Amino acid sequence: MKCYLKQNNLGSVEDYIKHTKDWSILDGVLSFDFNKKEITCFANIDAESVFYETEYDGIYSYTGFEFIAQACGVYYGLEARLVHRQQPKFGFVLRVNNLECSEMIIPVGRRAVVHAKENLRDGAFAYFDGEVYVDDRLITKATLMLMEANSELKM
């Protein structure tokens, strides 16, 4: 998989989301569409992940909601920079609804494909439906309520 951003000289994921390096878990963007309000990203699962569990040599699938949240953050960052010509803002997960996991662990060495679609936006608040796939199998899905901060908060 190749990152759309790098292929089109748009930088990297880190240019579009405000996160510390330790917590940045996405490796690239596959596609995004502002008209459809959706984004697809990918993450390589390895032992360096902040969510890595040595006992299982992988990560718990319920952490997929954070993958979805970061995909949403990248979507907002892309929108801020490419549409509004502004810096990305910091965001927060306010609520996770309907979290479903079909497997307990995502093993090291796998690649997660993360899809998120905005369903409702009201000012700084938005709802996104998201899904995480591994080997073309749906592993995690959830609806997230997010808030975009107006301040220049940095982590």
Residue 75: its H or E element: helix 64-78
In a domain, 69, yes or no: yes
Q: What is the model's pTM?
A: 0.92
- How many domains, in total, are found in the chain? 1
Beta-bridge partner residues of 101 = 140
In a domain, 142, yes or no: yes
- Per DSSP, the three-state class of 58 is strand
For 34, the domain range is 4-148
pLDDT band at 23 (very low <50, low <70, confident <90, very high): confident
In a domain, 62, yes or no: yes
DSSP string, 89-144: --EEEEEEEEEEES-SEEETT-EEEEEEEEEEEETTEEEEEEEEEETTEEEEEEEE
Give the count of alpha carbons within 13 A of 75, CB side only. Answer: 28
Which pLDDT does position 153 carry in this prediction? 46
The residues, ordered by sequence, that sit 6+ positions from 57 with a Cβ below 8 Å of its Cβ are 47, 107, 108
Which pLDDT does position 155 carry in this prediction? 46
Q: List, for residues 62-109, the tens digit of each pLDDT value.
A: 999 999 999 999 999 999 999 999 988 888 899 999 999 999 999 999
CATH number at residue 105: 3.10.129.10
In a domain, 153, yes or no: no
